[in-house]
Structure 1
Amino acid sequence: MRVRQACVGRDAELAVCREALSEAPAVVCVEAGPRMGRTTLLKACAEVAAELGFTVLAAQGSAVERDFAYELAAQLFEPVAGAVMDRIASDDDPKALQAALRELYREVRELAARTPVLIAVDNLDLADDDSLRLLDYLRRRLADLPIVMIVTALPGRLGEFARDARRITLGRLDERAVRALVSEDAGLVHRATGGHPWLVAELLRCESASVGELCREPSPELTSAIVAVLGPELVAVGRAVEILGTADIGLVASVADVDHDTASRGLVEYGTIGVPLVTAVLTTGIPSEMRLRAARALYRRRAEFVDHLLATDPIGDEWTCRMLREHAATAMSDGDPERAAECLRRLLAEPLSDEDRWRALAQLGEAEVHTDPAAALEHLTQAGGGATLAYELAERGQLVEAARVLADVDDDLVPLSIGVEHAGVVDEMPALPENPRRQRFWHAIAAASHALEGDRLRAAAALKRAAGRNLAVTAGSDLVDRRVLMHVVTALSMMDDFDEAERLCDNAVTAVSGRVRPALFRLVHGLRTEVALRRGDLREARRLTLAQHDPHVTALAPMIGALIDVNEPQAAAVVLSAQGLDGEVPGSARFDAVLFQRGRLRAADGDKVRAVHDLLECGRRLEQRGVLNPAVCPWRSTAALLLAELGDRGRAVALVERELHLARRWGSASTVGVALRGAGVVTGDAELLAEAVDVLRESPARLEYGRALADRGQCLRESGDELSARSVLRMAHDMAMRCGSVALMERAGRELRQAGGRRRFALTDPALLTERESFVARRAAAGRTNKEIAGELYVTTRSVEFALTSVYRKLGVSGRRELRSALGLGN
């Protein structure tokens, strides 16, 4: 009964065979593809026939035996007519053969007279020709005899033998049939096996795991069993198809290492059995030499082949090494450093000479600079030096080591690029190179240097030549262009061209959309934070600040500045402390602006003496580097305002006069306006303050315009013109709200009240609130008491009161009644 259990899902086919057994004589032809259950069905029919009292004569055709005369017939009839079969097989005389055939027919008739007979032949299409003729001879003489003949074959192989026969075509098992065999995961098993009975049977034979687990991850036992059933040629053809993703006979034959006919037959068969389970088995453990053949075959066809080459084992094949080198170089020139790094890592697995290994390590480091800076530094160091290593060392502040590497670098622009970033103004530019790409690099360095020293005309001329059309596109995959982007955006920001600076940053990120470029992303985040702060868009600056968990050095100063201006000095102090900048500040020019912002933070905390110290130290460093442009950071006017408050008016006046002179030389509206404002406040000159307002009104630096309005309004109030003061101070308050500057809003509000006016509250952006402040504000607006909110947060009531006070200040409201409106929750 075991065989019939394996025929689950073949009820209709078994019914046809039962009907034939009950209506003898009959001929049944079972056709099905390989491993579709023909043999199992035939055995089940033989079991049924034996139970019904039939004498069962069985045989199986074989490709190995089809050249032997009467081989299959001998399997069938030797048990009942052995002597007759011997004469048939050995007698060459036609008349004697005819007589022997008649005698065999009589023997079969006599057997059928005693019991009904089933002649069961498996793989009749593989029978020898003589046996086929003998069976056809008997088939024609079955009339009125209780004899049933059931034969199996591949589809379309039986020809005339199948005429007038009952025909059965076996298909795959449906899910219901599979469910009858498999108690769990039947749907998964049906999808994985495609309903192939033999695959279901192989799954059931494996005892190492459940059938569901085996479908998800075939075990070695199951893999070996399936590979054994398929045979080496079909396995090779199937693997070739899976590697190539195509059924091109020529390619498949080449990769599978079989002849054209074998590939053709294999493709036909694999087309029926290429189900998920078989695919999973065949794609596991594909031999390396097969992948290498695939790579070579596709290369000859001028098709993409490198994926296959990357999957091969290193064997020192020269062609493989050459292809990996060439493809890595092509990938880098095409702006695909990830692909280049893949090829170079695979190349380094080969047995290379020392020189080739160093060269490959250097190239790998140059590719990883864009995708994995930490690995890049390691590989560049192993390679022994180069310009890229110098850049990476300088990026990490290791300037002494960078200088040591640069001593062996034959490139005069690399030291200048590092120098303008870390040391300040370039003393002398070398001759303009002939190469267009290096010309752009030269102009970018020149633009940055001229901008630092405050020479606007020369900076603008160099900037025009540096900002090429494809700069943003290539910055994500070209180290030189990434540095060009940094120099160009920095110069544009100092010139108040914030829109162009933002466009370049956005385009650089868009150009690498969907790809990992940590170095570029960190740089662009820093540059955009700087631009947002200069523009006065504190909400965007704060958003960018909170999004940077590993900020680029260029981002530190604007991050701290943004947090100061949105009245979050504690958060600014945390940033300083986390970067180790609350003590000694490194000597690189990159940290000069950090020193400036730390001075501002100390001033906001009321420590004016230490604030002045930081600001003057920032100025000393900048001037020592030749950086005179106040657009870099207005340290002079900021320090002067504090010195005036501390009573050192003479020094304060000298600083603001110097800054105003340098600012007018540079000429950007924001720089001139800031200098005018500082000079006006320190000297008490109302005309300078009025001029500052006029200049900044046309400037894109909106927060500086708001500050100038506040100072101008205070000056008017102190002079007794309260009506004009109120008008100006309301403008200052509105501008502060637009920019998101809580500190300036509070100051303008105080001045407005002193001038006899009231603030006109406008809806402030709740994005100014921290996460906890936002939670507390919404709970308070919903009517929760401080005690209830404290219970939800597991904090003290005092902490909730402190958070609410900060919320009221940031949103410009006086109490809970105004919270819902300020949060945009309606009445």
Structure 2
Amino acid sequence: MIMIRRGDGQLRMRDHPDTSDGLGFDSRSSPGLCSSEVEAQLEVITPGLTASVPWLMAGQDTRPVPDAPAGQCASSRSAREMTRGQDVGLAVACAEEALEEAPCRHDPLCVWRALVTLVSAGELVTVDEQCARLVEDVEPGPFTRAQRRSMMLRARARVARHTGDLPGARRVLGELIESDVTQNVRLLGVSWLVDVLLEEGAIDEAVDLMERSGLETAAQQWLMCRPMLLSARAAVRLATGAADIGFQDFLQAERLFEGQRMSNRAMLLCPTQISLAAKAAHRDEFAARIAGQVLLRARGWGEPRVLGMALGTLATVEDGPDACAQLTEAAELLEVGGARSELITVNQELARRLAARDDVAGARWRIGQAMGIAKEIGAHGRVRDLRAEFGGLTESVQLTRQESRVASLARGGHSNEQIAGKLALSLRGVEFHLSNVYRKLGVQGRRGLRDALGEQVAVRRT
């Protein structure tokens, strides 16, 4: 069975021999893997950067063309490696070859495939530099300028989202949704914008967009972008407390994703949220099992952002003795991957666990990191949520000038007697100031002081 698109943009199932190359399309239906002409004639929407079979040859005319060459196009090889999710180095090498060498470098579809692969591999700087070529530096062939511009906007939107530029992602997606695109591409943009709004903490706005856009109804139809629509709807339901229903939506999206023979989690809108939804729905065993499988696949691909998300999710749902160490490693991976939005979530979860251990200084530092990132990327709803959950831990510690001097010397290894001599204080005065510092920072002694003073501490002008 294969899915083919009707004129109304919906999919229907049709019996067909399995001659696919692993990307979900029949290689016999094209006179060459590097040709965009047939795909445009079939009105393929190449949603890309999604779990929606980016390269699906879908349309009403699916008559096979015999003796088609296979495996000759660098962009096709890059896409194949991306969907398999096993060799990121080979996928990137093929994508770079497609961008640099003819005939791929002149073909909009080949450039698009290469960019999608590079997004999934975390090569976001290259994508940002190259995506304008889709409009300015390719041979248009059968693709209209509007179609090529929509590809460019989708690539830019994913770069902005992956790097935590939420205002930028919102702006680009708004432009995409309002432009001359097909129903599938518009709904795809809506699903991505819902995700951005949720990352900003704008839950009410995400709910309103889902209702106004028709996403709720469209998620019930056999559209090519249906896995993404289900994932977006599931994320909204999870954010609004409807964990059981959200989990069912995620499960359905996951089954569609697997049915499209794609193993790479980097292509999903919410690559790890099915485990979190299962945990929220009190299906702990399922949540841990899926989280472990997601982590295994993420390790196989090796892209830091998805790997960090997978490791952080496993630590959250398993809640084992190594959870703090796993979350710390996840934060480091997300830092490397430039995934600022996801870094807020991991720091928030780590702060919860450190606070439960009475490690107030460690929790305060993690919350400070999360707050700083949230403010930087414009996630104002997340800032409000952090303040509501952690209260005083989100505020800067206020030390007097004398407390700051005493703390700095103590952190540097000076004894109380040495501090007293340097600052012309009595020993009792040093002890008094240190006691205040420990209380304000939430630490027990000099060892905790060394960690706590790594955070931003305000000094009162007194």
TM-score, normalised relative to structure 2: 0.66
Structure 1 equivalent of residue 121 of structure 2 = 495
Aligned counterpart for 1:466 among listed residues 66, 88, 98: 98
Q: Which amino acid aligns with 2:338?
A: P
Offset of 1:579 from its aligned partner?
Answer: 4.9
User: How much does 1:431 deviate?
Assistant: 3.5
Structure 1 partner of 2:284: 649
- 2:201 maps to 1:567: yes
Map 1:489-568 → 2, pairs under 5 A: 489-511=115-137, 517-548=145-176, 549-550=178-179, 552-553=185-186, 554-568=188-202
Gaps of 5+ in 2: 1-36, 139-143, 398-462
Contact 1:657/1:679, CA 8 A, preserved across alignment: yes
3-state secondary structure, aligned to 1:392: coil
Q: Which residue of 2 aligns with 1:580?
A: 214
Q: State yes or no: 1:450 paired with 2:81.
A: yes
Q: 1:724 Cα shift?
A: 1.0
Cα distance between partner residues in 2 of 1:571 and 1:511: 37
Deviation at 1:565, TM superposition (A): 1.9
Deviations 1:179-230 (A, max 9, x none): xxxxxxxxxxxxxxxxxxxxxxxxxxxxxxxxxxxxxxxxxxxxxxxxxxxx
Q: Select 2:395's aligned residue among 745, 749, 758.
A: 758
2:394 and 2:195 map into 1 onto residues whose CA distance is 30
Q: How does 1:155-234 map to 2 (within 5 A)?
A: none
1:184-583 equivalence runs, <5 A = 387=38, 390-392=41-43, 402-407=58-63, 409=65, 412=68, 431-432=70-71, 439=72, 442-456=73-87, 457-468=89-100, 474=106, 481-511=107-137, 517-548=145-176, 549-550=178-179, 552-553=185-186, 554-577=188-211, 579-583=213-217
The aligned amino acid for 1:387 is V
Alignment of 1:587-598 (within 5 A): 587-598=222-233
- CA 616–405 in structure 1, closer or farther in 2 if over 3 Å, else same: same
Q: Which residue of 2 aligns with 1:726?
A: 364
1:393 shift after superposition: 5.5
Q: CA deviation at 1:469?
A: 5.4
3-state SS in 2 of match to 1:406? coil
| CA deviation string 1:94-152 (max 9, x = no partner) | xxxxxxxxxxxxxxxxxxxxxxxxxxxxxxxxxxxxxxxxxxxxxxxxxxxxxxxxxxx
Partner of 1:623: 258
Residue in 1 that maps onto 2:10? none
Tell me which structure has the larger Cα radius of gyration.
Answer: 1
- Partner SS, residue 500 of structure 1: helix
SS in 2 for 1:688: helix
* Cα distance change on mapping 1:759 and 1:520 into 2, 3 Å: farther
The 8 Å contact of residues 600 and 611 in structure 1, kept in 2 or not, is answered as yes
CA distance in 2, matches of 1:599, 1:706: 21
Pick closer, same or farther for the CA change 1:712–1:618 going to 2, 3 Å. same
1:538 Cα deviation (Å)? 0.1
The C-alpha deviation readout for 1:353-409, integer Å capped at 9, x for no partner, is: xxxxxxxxxxxxxxxxxxxxxxxxxxxxxxxxx725543255699x99955423155
Q: Given the superposition, is the C-alpha separation of residues 649 and 403 from structure 1 closer, same or farther in structure 2, using an over 3 Å criterion?
A: same
| Distance across 1 between alignment mates of 2:152 and 2:271 | 28
Which residue number in structure 2 is paired with residue 745 of structure 1?
383
Residues of 2 paired with 1:491 and 1:715: CA distance? 36
Alignment check: 8 A CA contact 1:390 1:402 kept:
no
Report 1 or 2 for greater relative contact order, CA contacts < 8 Å, sequence distance ≥ 6.
2
Tell whether the 8 Å contact from 2:74 to 2:95 is kept in structure 1 after alignment. yes
Deviations 1:745-802 (A, max 9, x none): 2333234426x44169xxxxxxxxxxxxxxxxxxxxxxxxxxxxxxxxxxxxxxxxxx
8 Å CA contact 2:96–2:114 kept in 1: the answer is no
C-alpha contact 1:619 1:635 (8 A) present in aligned 2: no
Q: Secondary structure at the match of 1:665?
A: helix
Q: Deviations over 1:687-726 (max 9, x none)?
A: 1111111222212212122221121112111221011110
| CA offsets 1:297-334 (integer angstroms, 9 cap, x no match) | xxxxxxxxxxxxxxxxxxxxxxxxxxxxxxxxxxxxxx
Unaligned ranges ≥5, structure 1: 1-385, 413-429, 433-438, 475-480, 761-827
Deviation at 1:564, TM superposition (A): 2.1
Distance in 2 between residues matched to 1:727 and 1:544, nearest whole Å? 33
Distance 1:567 1:557 in 2: 16
Amino acid at match of 1:523: M
Residue 607 of structure 1 aligns with which residue?
242
Amino acid across the alignment from 1:530: R
The aligned amino acid for 2:217 is G
Judged with a 3 Å threshold, the aligned counterparts in structure 2 of structure 1 residues 555 and 757 are, in CA distance, closer, same or farther, namely closer
Structure 2 partner of 1:702: 340
SS of 1:528's partner is helix
Q: Which amino acid aligns with 2:337?
A: S
